[in-house]
Amino acid sequence: MVVSCEEVWREVSNYLDGEVEPGLRIAIQEHLRGCKHCTAVLDGTRNVLQLYGDERMLEVPLGFSQRLHQRLGENMPGNRRNFLGWMVAAAAAVLVGGSIEVARSSALRGPKRRSEQAQAGAGVPPDMMVVVSENGKLFHLAGCSFIHEKNKLRTVTAAEASREGYAPCVRCMKKYVANG
């Protein structure tokens, strides 16, 4: 099986989650050996996920950016002082704003997703019956050909599956997946 760059990009999050069938995984690995661009996309996606999931991201203390700006300003030479001072202040503001946004979004996000790359469902009927696999990350319509561990399935409502952290399968539930 040969895959194109577009197929690799479309499957990169499933590949990182280990949720691609063995034949596709081998084809993607072969493609990555010969394609520097796709390797960079894979590495970049992996880096973003590691940074986003890093629990060490902390909110900086109140007044931190002002103290940092002042301290750096004391050590700057004359002409470059203003420009670099503004750059440091802007970087500190982005850092503070980003930390606040991350904290706010994780508080509003709801149940912890079983997959870092999972897209939340939009408009999935809460009483729709779906199937989930014990160790899976997605919920599926019955009969979806992408269900893993078919011997460990159980049927639940879509609302219950979402509460448990499962996300809709992008293949069988595509009309409910954001940007799908």
pLDDT for the residue 4: 92
pLDDT for the residue 180: 44
Closest C-alpha among 84, 49, 48 to residue 69: 84
pLDDT for the residue 28: 93
Closest C-alpha among 132, 104, 97, 98 to residue 118: 132
pLDDT for the residue 167: 85
Q: Collect the ranges in the chain with pLDDT lower than 70.
A: 52-60, 75-86, 103-122, 178-180
pLDDT for the residue 171: 83
